[in-house]
Structure 1
């Protein structure tokens, strides 16, 4: 709370300085946030699948979104609370703002696993290709987003590396000139405090004739003491947007900045430790921390060339830096990493006739990145560990990366009922690696480690190039008004991440890795019936090849295969003007498809660990009156194996959450949320290792959050 109050004068000062001098007399006023959508179910618009807004029924892929009304109601303190409404999305929460993601996949772990998912804000990736971070969504302002859109599966030709299993795109608030002003304060358990501020409007005409300008500012400041011992975080996010439009030209420029300072609580260890009252709120790693900052600047330039052609150019720049303690590794080394990137996305849209539309463009990016890992304290444990994991620098390298990716995607209408969509993307990613230390398995000063060498290995300077093609083919059939059937063939890929190539271990002196690839087939039905009922069903099967993993010799290799088969469903039903129910669910099997011996067991055919076959959620809402809403949510997590041998498993859990929003006046909203209503003892994530046995991130106990939002 103190951190928030200290920043409040600065925040309000920035808002006043930006807003007061230049706002023209407002002709429109955005009303206070409505506590829920109006009665009735309407179709949504999605931009991620085609880089322009299109009706959700018109896509030939599995795409869905969480809209502003749902985000306001959920009021998520962690991204997993919002994405439980997306079928096939499983965001396994760690501690604080940390997580591991799954989209039509198991919860993936490992140095480069995060490369399987592309996370973006307004279509620009949060991280450069090849330099993902497993927690990178905390660098997006999801808490004040207009919408969060998710593509499940490889999707379209518009996205390349890091979109192997799907895309999560955070859509920022519109910069449309509407007069906006709001201030919200939220309180919760363990000294939780969150302050939100939004301001926006039309800017005065500066003598530019017919030009129009507008701005939008969103700030949120969070301080959480943490429900576990000596844990918690402080987080600040700022998003500023400016819009300039004149004649055929529109330019939307956005700047975002985020900062996170987190005291991290690690796994609790032991059989069913998450059920133990003393262990579940303990912190075996009070020394762990994570500090991260990010800055992004982009300009979306839209120019209408004619009535049938439009050009979109989006130059951008980003900067990130992170420092954290790897408390999960022997010796607990500290990692420092950072990236500086510049890039541009270009796209030419053409509506050549009523039957054919297409988009073509080129994405280009240059990145300069670094990673430094060092250890301050001697390694605890056996003489072997102390000798092979010594104090000092482990890795210190720079990587420059260049990306070039042309693409084309087209849609043909074949009569009134049929539509074909096809696309192709080529992507070239080049790494230039510079080792700033001695190569090999020595200490930083060149002296040898005992027992055959140090645990870490540093390759010689090298260059690596990865070239990939990604074709797509989709079919859409309209069998009734607002009812569609679709099918698609898709291919996705991800290049090896820099950490997989250059942060090696033991005797490995170089990683000869291929890009992971996935080929999939999908069929689905979706529709909307008389504003009362909507549905979206999909059935898919995918095979992933050249899966990168660490073998029994601790070598990074790309020889694995996995299979992914499942069915997903989402339905919404407006029972009456006062009652509405929505549900989503996923049943899937994710399994190893190649021969591999681990622990003396051939794991081919086994379920992949951290891959529940069943999970989903149900939301039942009641509009008590025009300005009041109550929602009861049920979350289901099925059981899953926690080791690759399928010998240990987590039994799953069921949770209930209760939420309400009440708007007594147009400019005032009160809200409250009761998370884990029945105070269930559960694990956000369960894991098993041969070193520790069963270990868990325990779930938060019953927690009450409440707040107020004032608008003007």
Structure 2
């Protein structure tokens, strides 16, 4: 029998109400906070019923994250699980989702443009975006709105690029840490007349805590804003490059606690190389009679090659995509009480995937090419939505969307369940199967409905109901295994209901909400290694986000969630069992003290509860609590220094744990680590 204990920190967080925006002072708490993720144009956060969290620039700069998981832990109900190097898996009101198309449950975007094409998700896509130099990060928990569509199933993470400054500014910082870690960040911005621009660039090197690991990564943004008499045009060119030596799982029960084994790398040959380039121009103009029109053409390029150390035979995968698309939206204020919007989105993608094994054939894993296919895809969608002030104290948000996804698949190898040369794999056939050329199409609708009922000048009752979906990803349709040569898949769907309260006072913000979600037709791999729609999951939880300015110099933030994620049928595990890698409790608290105008001290504690490692709930990871300290000192008007210490108690923990193939497997958490940054503002 397995017993569970809720930590005092997690219990306190679940019982206290809270807010999704950071306070800096009594006056700043009363300023209007805006978000663009839910509607593509700026709207005050208090006018939106969705569970939206805003991580602002001050928090991004203070935290100085070296991995996207560190900054997203600031939001309740979100866990971005760190793999090795810059790799990650995501959970938003869910278990950590794994598998070929699991990333299709999340909408990862930069300035509202998806980082990958619909149908071609990548679990690690967030390492492409320059979140370290962003203006802010917006997170929607639960299904997205009418402007998102497919892939906005469990949530949305939108990184907002930094805008040009009104006056010339230049920033340079250098940073160093353990394991030969080094980073340099540079930005320059200016505005002249109607034109403004900002260059943001960074490069970092990490020698790696594990043996034969580490990475080099570079990111670059160039943003140009034009404010004309008729049109406003915002353009962004972004690029990234990653060269990573990847470390695999550490094998063995509690191996992450063994100091003599922590640096072991069972896969010293593994690596990941990834490049991406994205560009968009957003054209926006005000029309007559309180109308606004927005059109955004964009283009995307990605290339990736990595050795799959987690698969037998460690095959090499190479994939890439080239996409062009356009987003449109038209907004009209029909009265003081009603605003409607509608639009049309379209995207064309050309993508490929190749997989090959250099090792000699063994069992069902043949040497040589496993997959070599090309997919042309067309995505189109139409949406409508709006805001209605139904009464003085009642506001309603609503939207609906209809999506179409077309795939044209071409197999460049011999079709069937054989080796590349057509020979059979004895005795049970080859692991990998290649369908013949095929065409598929999917169509589905989504909707969202939210109500904001003002109870008092400072308190609102909020409620949301939504239906989301995702089309099968191309890899789920065409990257088949064993004897399956045709994946007859339907869309996954999710129904969600949420109700809660939020409050805004001069020194206190909070939001607390209960949610229920049911996901149907979940795409799973059965015991015969076939991709089928046979899964069902249930997710319930409570989230809280609390922000209190205790005094002009002292701020306290508290956020957390208590949730339960279960199998809704027995397709993968006994019905009612909890999903693996799904902690019931996630929580953090942060105290920010500014004793002097030039000095800021932060103390943060993060808690992660225990979780099961497989569907039968026989094995578990006990959870952990981590402490962090940050000290920022302004030396003069232009120069500052920052000291960041992670895992101050130097505890043994795992970034992620699972149980597979009869073994405990861990990505080992790093011991106490100090990072020092020196920055200059010109």
Q: TM-score normalised to the size of structure 1?
A: 0.91
Secondary structure class of the residue paired with 1:373: strand
For 1:63-102, what aligned pairs fall within 5 Å after superposition? 63-102=52-91
| Per-residue Cα deviation, 1:332-361 (whole angstroms, up to 9, x for no partner) | 100000000000000001112110011100
Whether 2:318 is the aligned partner of 1:336: answer yes
| Per-residue Cα deviation, 1:568-592 (whole angstroms, up to 9, x for no partner) | 0000111112211101010011100
Give the whole-Å Cα distance in 1 for the aligned partners of 2:289 and 2:268: 61
Aligned mate of 2:516, from 512, 524, 541: 541
Q: Which residue of 2 aligns with 1:505?
A: 481
Q: Which residue of 2 aligns with 1:674?
A: 645
User: Residue 88 of structure 1 contacts residue 568 of structure 1 at CA under 8 Å; is this kept in 2?
Assistant: yes
Aligned mate of 1:665, from 632, 636, 655: 636
Give the whole-Å Cα distance in 2 for the aligned partners of 1:258 and 1:178: 27
User: Residue 345 of structure 1 contacts residue 364 of structure 1 at CA under 8 Å; is this kept in 2?
Assistant: yes
Give the whole-Å Cα distance in 2 for the aligned partners of 1:533 and 1:198: 34
For 1:293-692, what aligned pairs fall within 5 Å after superposition? 293-378=275-360, 386-530=362-506, 532-596=507-571, 603-689=574-660, 691-692=661-662
Q: Which residue of 2 aligns with 1:167?
A: 156
For 1:244-263, what aligned pairs fall within 5 Å after superposition? 244-263=226-245
User: Residue 25 of structure 2 contacts residue 549 of structure 2 at CA under 8 Å; is this kept in 1?
Assistant: no
Whether 2:30 is the aligned partner of 1:55: answer no
Give the whole-Å Cα distance in 1 for the aligned partners of 2:23 and 2:466: 36
For 1:89-238, what aligned pairs fall within 5 Å after superposition? 89-203=78-192, 212-238=194-220
Secondary structure class of the residue paired with 1:568: strand
Taking only aligned residues, the RMSD between alpha carbons, in angstroms, comes to 1.3
Q: Which residue of 2 aligns with 1:13?
A: none
User: Residue 56 of structure 1 contacts residue 64 of structure 1 at CA under 8 Å; is this kept in 2?
Assistant: no
Give the whole-Å Cα distance in 1 for the aligned partners of 2:654 and 2:471: 32
Give the whole-Å Cα distance in 1 for the aligned partners of 2:331 and 2:438: 39
Instruction: Could you tell me which runs of 5 or more consecutive residues in structure 2 were left unpaired when the two chains were aligned.
Output: 1-21
Whether 2:681 is the aligned partner of 1:706: answer no
Which has the higher mean CA deviation after the structures are superposed, 645-654 or 407-416? Answer: 407-416
| Per-residue Cα deviation, 1:572-619 (whole angstroms, up to 9, x for no partner) | 1111122111010100111000123x6xxx510000000000111000
- The alpha carbon displacement at 1:533 in A equals 0.8
User: Residue 176 of structure 1 contacts residue 243 of structure 1 at CA under 8 Å; is this kept in 2?
Assistant: no
Aligned mate of 1:693, from 663, 669, 674: 663
Secondary structure class of the residue paired with 1:665: coil
Give the whole-Å Cα distance in 2 for the aligned partners of 1:274 and 1:559: 35
User: Residue 36 of structure 1 contacts residue 70 of structure 1 at CA under 8 Å; is this kept in 2?
Assistant: no
Give the whole-Å Cα distance in 2 for the aligned partners of 1:562 and 1:125: 26
Which has the higher mean CA deviation after the structures are superposed, 70-79 or 659-668? Answer: 659-668
- The alpha carbon displacement at 1:44 in A equals 2.3
Secondary structure class of the residue paired with 1:480: coil
| Per-residue Cα deviation, 1:98-132 (whole angstroms, up to 9, x for no partner) | 01100001000000001100000000000000101
| Per-residue Cα deviation, 1:139-158 (whole angstroms, up to 9, x for no partner) | 10000000000000003111
- The alpha carbon displacement at 1:482 in A equals 3.7
Secondary structure class of the residue paired with 1:60: coil
| Per-residue Cα deviation, 1:51-83 (whole angstroms, up to 9, x for no partner) | 111221111111111100111111000011101
Structure 1 267/221 Cα, relative in aligned 2: closer, same or farther at 3 Å? same
User: Residue 23 of structure 2 contacts residue 548 of structure 2 at CA under 8 Å; is this kept in 1?
Assistant: no
Give the whole-Å Cα distance in 2 for the aligned partners of 1:79 and 1:36: 22
Q: Which residue of 2 aligns with 1:9?
A: none
Structure 1 533/38 Cα, relative in aligned 2: closer, same or farther at 3 Å? closer
Give the whole-Å Cα distance in 1 for the aligned partners of 2:515 and 2:242: 38
| Per-residue Cα deviation, 1:358-400 (whole angstroms, up to 9, x for no partner) | 1100110000000000011125xxxxxx042111000000001
Give the whole-Å Cα distance in 2 for the aligned partners of 1:479 and 1:54: 21
- The alpha carbon displacement at 1:652 in A equals 0.2
Secondary structure class of the residue paired with 2:551: coil
Give the whole-Å Cα distance in 2 for the aligned partners of 1:274 and 1:672: 27
User: Residue 23 of structure 2 contacts residue 549 of structure 2 at CA under 8 Å; is this kept in 1?
Assistant: no
- The alpha carbon displacement at 1:664 in A equals 2.5
Q: Which residue of 1 aligns with 2:5?
A: none
Secondary structure class of the residue paired with 2:256: helix
Secondary structure class of the residue paired with 2:62: helix
Give the whole-Å Cα distance in 2 for the aligned partners of 1:566 and 1:476: 20
| Per-residue Cα deviation, 1:503-535 (whole angstroms, up to 9, x for no partner) | 1000111111111000011112112112x1110
- The alpha carbon displacement at 1:692 in A equals 4.3
- The alpha carbon displacement at 1:306 in A equals 2.2
Give the whole-Å Cα distance in 1 for the aligned partners of 2:581 and 2:428: 34
Aligned mate of 1:272, from 250, 254, 279: 254
Secondary structure class of the residue paired with 2:122: coil
Give the whole-Å Cα distance in 1 for the aligned partners of 2:519 and 2:167: 46
User: Residue 62 of structure 1 contacts residue 155 of structure 1 at CA under 8 Å; is this kept in 2?
Assistant: no
| Per-residue Cα deviation, 1:539-564 (whole angstroms, up to 9, x for no partner) | 10011000011001110011111101
| Per-residue Cα deviation, 1:191-220 (whole angstroms, up to 9, x for no partner) | 1000000001024x6xxxxxx111110001
Give the whole-Å Cα distance in 2 for the aligned partners of 1:220 and 1:246: 31
Give the whole-Å Cα distance in 2 for the aligned partners of 1:252 and 1:177: 15
- The alpha carbon displacement at 1:228 in A equals 1.0
User: Residue 163 of structure 2 contacts residue 197 of structure 2 at CA under 8 Å; is this kept in 1?
Assistant: no
Secondary structure class of the residue paired with 2:71: helix
Q: TM-score normalised to the size of structure 2?
A: 0.95
Instruction: Could you tell me which runs of 5 or more consecutive residues in structure 1 were left unpaired when the two chains were aligned.
Output: 1-34, 206-211, 380-385
Q: Which residue of 1 aligns with 2:14?
A: none
User: Residue 37 of structure 1 contacts residue 69 of structure 1 at CA under 8 Å; is this kept in 2?
Assistant: no
